[in-house]
């Protein structure tokens, strides 16, 4: 019994550490979105090919050989009629439920912000964004000014609007979220790799200068990010 208790204690400790490590693992919603997109494209391609082959087969096999020819349909029993309707419907419904479950998994990834995420407050105006970093530094989003975030650091954007409804769009990270007056919304990203080609774009028409409401967003190493933030703070 004395040997058994330490063994159980060690097992419990190992399970606790494993659970903690799993909880700390940071998901990447953009990658999960890409995988779901691949699954959907594969799914509809397979279904489309099967339907196309079946349609071509029936067109050839049952084509009319003379203008006066009239086709006849085989009479089905009640069981055959029910099976003919239910079996294809069940297959398609199972496929739909599978894709819906995959989509719900991706949705959960987008709504669960990691505990160590850096928070950036965003206010939407006609027609620019304003960004406030955790240290209080304000980054001006007018004139297509770029903003920067550190690589490997999850970032959550807490957003609201001062005038009309905007939509905070990040095509590179496969996400967007509405910004509304009097309400705070959020979205988070996981910039796992350095990049300087992504941009933020208002994705909902908000007035005559809507298309100008955009900013490049660069994911850079921590040292470069710190230097940029210090420069913005000094200029502000």
Instruction: Go through the domains of the chain in sequence order and give each one's CATH number.
Output: 29-62+73-111 (no CATH), 118-235 (2.60.40.420)
Mind listing the pLDDT tens digit for each residue in 43-54?
A: 999 999 999 999
Query: Does position 27 have pLDDT exceeding 50, yes or no?
Result: yes
The pTM of the full predicted model, rounded to 2 decimals, is 0.77
pLDDT for 73 equals 78
Mind listing the pLDDT tens digit for each residue in 77-124?
A: 999 999 989 998 998 899 999 999 999 999 999 999 999 999 999 999
Mean pLDDT on 57-63: 89
List C-alpha distances in Å: 118 to 21, 23, 149, 151, 195.
Answer: 20, 18, 9, 11, 18
Q: How far apart are CA 136 and CA 130, in angstroms?
A: 12
Query: Does position 189 have pLDDT exceeding 60, yes or no?
Result: yes
What share of the chain has pLDDT > 90, as a percent? Answer: 75
Query: Does position 2 have pLDDT exceeding 80, yes or no?
Result: no
pLDDT for 5 equals 41
């Amino acid at each position: 019994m004395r040997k058994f208790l330490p063994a159980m204690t060690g097992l419990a400790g190992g399970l606790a550490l494993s659970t903690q490590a799993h909880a700390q693992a940071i998901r990447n919603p953009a990658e999960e979105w890409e995988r779901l997109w691949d699954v959907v494209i594969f799914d509809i391609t397979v279904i489309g090919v099967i339907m196309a082959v079946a349609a071509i087969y029936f067109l050839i096999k049952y084509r009319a050989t003379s203008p006066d020819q009239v086709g006849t349909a085989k009479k089905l029993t009640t069981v055959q009629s029910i099976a003919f309707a239910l079996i294809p419907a069940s297959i398609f419904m199972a496929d739909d439920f599978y894709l819906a479950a995959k989509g719900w998994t991706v949705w959960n990834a987008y709504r669960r912000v990691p505990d160590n995420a850096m928070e950036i407050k965003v206010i939407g105006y006609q027609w620019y964004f304003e960004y406030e970093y955790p240290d209080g530094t304000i980054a001006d989003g007018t004139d297509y000014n770029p903003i920067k975030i550190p690589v490997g650091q999850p970032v959550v954007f807490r957003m609201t609007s001062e005038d009309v409804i905007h939509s905070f769009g990040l095509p590179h990270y496969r996400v967007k979220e509405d910004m509304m007056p009097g309400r705070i919304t959020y979205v988070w990203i996981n910039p796992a790799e350095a990049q300087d080609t992504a941009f933020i774009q208002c994705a909902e028409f908000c007035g005559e200068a809507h298309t100008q409401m955009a900013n490049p967003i660069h994911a850079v190493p921590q040292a470069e990010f710190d230097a940029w933030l210090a420069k913005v703070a000094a200029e502000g």
